[in-house]
Amino acid sequence: MKQLILSATLCLTAFASGVHFQKTDDTSKAKEKSIRLGNFSISLNVKDLKASKEFYEKLGFKAFVGSEESRMYILQNDSSTIGIFHGHFEKNMLTYNPGWDRNASTLPEFDDVRDIQKRLKALGLKFTLAADESSTGPAALLLEDPDGNPILIDQHVAKPTP
């Protein structure tokens, strides 16, 4: 906690001192089509689903999907989405849902998880779980960042045919 407060203090001090953070602009990458990962949320592995739900509700989050029986809730507050899960996975993870907006409505156009996987594979990334590239419809892939943080790209809908 002290480290977090120290980091926040350093950022605020730098800002107040006139140090400005600049957005990087790599024009060579700007020419490439960006990968559309879909709606973002953080998925938390919680010890006590009810206690976690009550805690996040105090922060202003409201349950959007889920139940005690399913051992999970998706909670939203303004533009933030948090999934709380009990017994579904071991570590907290970043989650992306290609094909969905933040209301779990299907987008008219999106990058299919298998296309995302092919692009990431071409960039040399390795997967903990790979989508079957010969399949269609819902599928998922799982990879880890350099620090071991899991990233789930979980597509729940079929890509519309043109």
Q: What is the pLDDT of residues 125-147, one digit of tens each?
A: 999 999 999 999 999 999 999 99
Alpha carbon 71 to chain centroid distance?
19
Domain boundaries, the chain: 25-155
Decide if pLDDT at 26 tops 80.
no
- CATH number for the region 25-155 comes to 3.10.180.10
For 33, 35, 76, 126, the CA distances from 120, given in Å and listed in that order, are: 13, 9, 29, 8
3-state helix, strand, coil in the chain (%, to 5): 25, 30, 50
pLDDT of residue 18: 54
Q: What is the pLDDT of residues 53-112, one digit of tens each?
A: 999 999 999 999 999 999 999 999 999 999 999 999 999 999 999 999 999 999 999 999
